[in-house]
Amino acid sequence: MEAIIRPDKESAAKLVEMIIAAELRRNPSMVLGLATGRTMEEVYRLLAKAYGEGRLDFSLCRTFNLDEYVGLQPSDPHSYRYYMNERLFKQVNVDTRNTHLPNGLAPDLDAECRQYEEKIKRCGGIDLQLLGIGKAGHIGFNEPLSALLSRTRVKTLSPTTVEQNAEFFGGAGNVPSRAITMGVGTILDCRRCILMATGYGKAAVIAKAVEGPITSMISATALQLHSRCTVVVDEEAASQLQEVDYYKWVFENEPEWEEFR
């Protein structure tokens, strides 16, 4: 795991966009894992801007999202399909037939989960997975006590997650109680992953995810097991990390990051 600390949320999003763009240029048919949430909005805006300026081509790219609520229509503004369509897919030249999210309306949700795993396998696996982190320490909707080898499945949302999402639904009582999510093991199968977090509200959980012990209570800690995981945070989200000076030194001195400095 590497931790990169940028001065503010805008420069953190810019770095994530630059990494994704570089990977897409190297591999135009890459399989890209995507996340939703307020943190990702600036990343998607920058990717769409790069496409609009002729610097990126998404025509061969295939995408898989981490999760989707159970019971929401794709046209529902609260659904993650709607979020992705509006924030990214309609803004670039990706073939919508190559954009995949779990179907939270499937009559057999367990079968849908198995089929989602199979779709990922048929595409050769995920090349780069973008991740956010919830205040409960979850990646995707892998809530506390999620098995570290778990696969795509239905999860009941924790009270912390419901409360975190309540503002988007006009109250906690309107938040769906379940979601389909890639499992922790599914996420760990990706070839490269980038976790992005910004703001003081994420500082405590980032410190646990990056420097704390691996535990199923905080599914993001499993990323410590990944051979190529980069955590990009702003100064606020990094404020409780212990080795800040070292992380900054690595970014400023490692040849791998020269093109991004």
State pLDDT tens for residues 185-237.
999 999 999 999 999 999 999 999 999 999 999 999 999 999 999 999 999 99
pLDDT of residue 113: 98
Q: How would residue 243 be classed by pLDDT, with cut points 50, 70 and 90?
A: very high
Residue identified by tokens 């570089």 is 22
Can you tell me the distance from the alpha carbon of 229 to that of 3, in angstroms, rounded to the nearest whole number? 9
Q: How would residue 122 be classed by pLDDT, with cut points 50, 70 and 90?
A: very high
Can you tell me the distance from the alpha carbon of 168 to that of 171, in angstroms, rounded to the nearest whole number? 8
pTM above 0.85, yes or no: yes
Q: How would residue 170 be classed by pLDDT, with cut points 50, 70 and 90?
A: very high
Quote the tokens at residue 43: 């990343």
Query: Which residues have CB under 8 Å from 125's CB, separation 6+?
Result: 31, 189, 190, 191
Quote the tokens at residue 254: 């490692």
Give Cα 81 to chain centroid, integer Å. 14
Average pLDDT, the chain: 97
Q: Tell me the domains of the chain and their CATH numbers.
A: 2-260 (3.40.50.1360)
Across-strand partners of 68? 180
With contact defined as beta carbons under 8 Å apart, do 223 and 209 qualify?
A: yes
CA geometry: angle 138, 233, 61, nearest 5 deg: 75
List pLDDT tens digits, range 80-115.
Answer: 999 999 999 999 999 999 999 999 999 999 999 999
With contact defined as beta carbons under 8 Å apart, do 110 and 70 qualify?
A: no
